[in-house]
Each structure stands twice: as C-alpha cells, then as structure tokens.
Amino acid sequence: MGGQTMNRAAAGPFVAAWCASWRKVDIDAVVAHFAEDAQMRSPLALTLTGSPVVTGAENIRAYWRKAYGHIESADLKILSWSWDDTIARLIVWWQLGDTRASEFMDFDDAGRVVRSEAFYGK
C-alpha cells in the first residue's frame, strides 16, 4: 500500500487488508505497510529477541518469520478499531484464540506505519 495518506476513511480498508494478511500469515504483505525505519514493540519480541523493540522493516520481517513463520493460517478476529486524526494513530483490538490484544499503529505522511506497539491479555 503506502503512497496514500492514512485517515479515517482509509483506516477501515487498511484494517480489513491487515487482518486478511495476518489470517493468511502473509508476513510480506503486512511488512509492505511499514516504513523502512519503522519500530515495532511487543511483549513477544522481548521473549524471542531479548528486546521489546524491533527496528527496521527487514528486521521486523525476520522477527515475524521467526515468531509466526511456522503457522500457515490464523483465525484472527477484529473486535473493533478506532482512528485518531490528531496524532494519525490507528488502534485495533483483536483476538486470536484466547489471546486478546490492542495494537496501535502510527503513520507517516505517505501512509506507512512508522511505529506500532501491541499489548496482550486474556
């Protein structure tokens, strides 16, 4: 995607595409939405890499391949989402199995994710 400013109108289709990509575990499609110097923060990253933050699209791709590459599909469900125009932030609440999460994504002017962070619970 990219090349298009993210806003409330674009957020709905983005969430649908993001969810579809994760359901197929199409990591390349998910990373295609990220800026080259993006940062992703996750409790799972801390467990797998020793650091909660993964920096750079290629490192994020490698991390997700390590974390999810063995899974062929995932029954990810979007519970809800919200867009904040003031700070260009998308917040997605999702569920996978018995894990519930909220995840925010901040966007640059080209519509690419520059920062994301996931919070997990049950």
Contact 6, 14 (CB under 8 A): yes
Please determine, for residue 1, whether its predicted confidence score (pLDDT) is greater than 80. no
pTM score of the predicted model? 0.90
Mean pLDDT of the chain: 93
Which range among 67-71, 83-87, 99-103, 108-112 shows the weakest confidence by mean pLDDT?
A: 67-71
Confidence of residue 4 (pLDDT cuts 50, 70, 90): confident
Cβ density class 75-97: b for 16+ within 10 Å, e for less: ebeeeebebeeeebbbebebeee
Task: State which CATH number among 2.40.10.10, 3.40.50.150, 3.10.450.50, 1.10.8.60 fits the domain covering 8-121.
Answer: 3.10.450.50
pLDDT one-digit tens code per residue, 95-108 = 999 999 999 999 99
What are the residue boundaries of the structural domains of the chain, listed by start?
8-121
At 16 the three-state DSSP class reads: helix
